[in-house]
């Protein structure tokens, strides 16, 4: 081996305990996205998505149904031709270009538009009984760069409602508070989700964290 005499064997001591973001002791720190250096990292082990034992049968059934839905979730982007479905193949880096509205069914009920590119990488289980992983890396917004949350008509792709947060100034940590407020604002008035172009009444929005769902939002999550 090339560096035999000068090798530092204890990676954790040299690089810090979080040197592998996907280590099972570390990965939970990235569930809600975490800025580190020049990027914002999101990571989850798919089997870890399974909820702990629920207190009520109903909650258990709903979560079970949700997990079933997540297995078949589709991903979408919006361009000049309207809403298009895009793939998420294992071991493929899917890069959503800055400015492209994108969303994932049942995961977050709005279109996310960032000013930096976003890399999405699904890793299948390395062996049976191992979890699959989903990695997301977004460039760190700086200065006047923003993250936007919007809704477009599911029938005609007309813009219905949009809000932006200058995450370059506020930091990404403010995003989740912003998300909750914007989803509530959108849902509060039926006029926001009724398309002025084609008249279609669009479903309610919902946040990225199912535990924040209202009853109506949970019903909407099951729908789109």
Q: Where along the sequence are the contacts to other proteins (CB under 8 A)?
A: 1-3, 5-8, 11, 14-15, 19-24, 36-39, 41, 43, 77-80, 84, 86-87, 89, 91-100, 102, 116-117, 119, 121, 123-124, 126-127, 130-131, 133, 135, 137, 139-140, 142-143, 145
Residue 183 · residue 110 · CB < 8 Å: yes
How many Cβ atoms from other residues are within 10 Å of residue 81's Cβ? 7
| Positive or negative torsion for Cα 220, 222, 223, 224 | positive
Residue 150 · residue 174 · CB < 8 Å: no
Smaller CB distance to other proteins: residue 102 or 221? 102
**Torsion angle, CA of 218/186/175/151, rounded to 10 degrees?**
90
Pull the structure tokens for residue 5.
């005499």
Pull the structure tokens for residue 9.
């064997």
The span from the CA of 123 to the CA of 93, in Å, is 10
Smaller CB distance to other proteins: residue 21 or 209? 21
Q: Please name the residue that has the structure tokens 């702990």.
A: 52
Vertex 136 angle, CA 23 and 139, to 5°: 115
Pairing assessment for the beta strands 118-123 and 133-139 based on DSSP bridges: antiparallel
């Amino acid at each position: 081996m090339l560096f035999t005499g000068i090798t530092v064997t204890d990676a954790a001591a040299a690089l810090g305990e979080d040197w592998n973001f996907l280590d099972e002791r570390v990965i939970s720190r990235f569930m809600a996205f975490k800025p580190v250096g020049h990027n914002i990292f999101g990571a989850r082990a798919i089997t870890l998505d399974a909820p702990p034992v629920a207190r009520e049968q109903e909650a258990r059934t709903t979560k079970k149904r949700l997990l079933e839905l997540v297995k078949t979730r589709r991903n979408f982007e919006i361009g000049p031709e309207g809403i298009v479905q895009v793939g998420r193949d294992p071991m493929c880096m899917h890069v959503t270009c800055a400015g492209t509205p994108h969303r994932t069914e049942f995961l977050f009920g709005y279109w996310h538009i960032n000013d930096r590119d976003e890399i999405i990488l699904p890793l299948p289980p390395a062996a049976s009984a191992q979890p699959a992983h989903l990695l997301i890396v977004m460039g760190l917004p700086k200065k006047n760069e923003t993250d936007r949350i919007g809704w477009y008509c599911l029938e005609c792709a007309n813009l219905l409602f949009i809000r932006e947060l200058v995450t370059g100034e506020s930091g990404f940590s403010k995003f989740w508070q912003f998300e909750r407020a914007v989803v509530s604002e959108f849902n509060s008035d039926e006029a926001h989700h009724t398309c002025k172009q084609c008249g279609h009444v669009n479903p309610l929005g919902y946040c990225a964290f199912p535990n924040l769902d209202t009853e109506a939002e949970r019903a909407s999550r099951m729908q789109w």
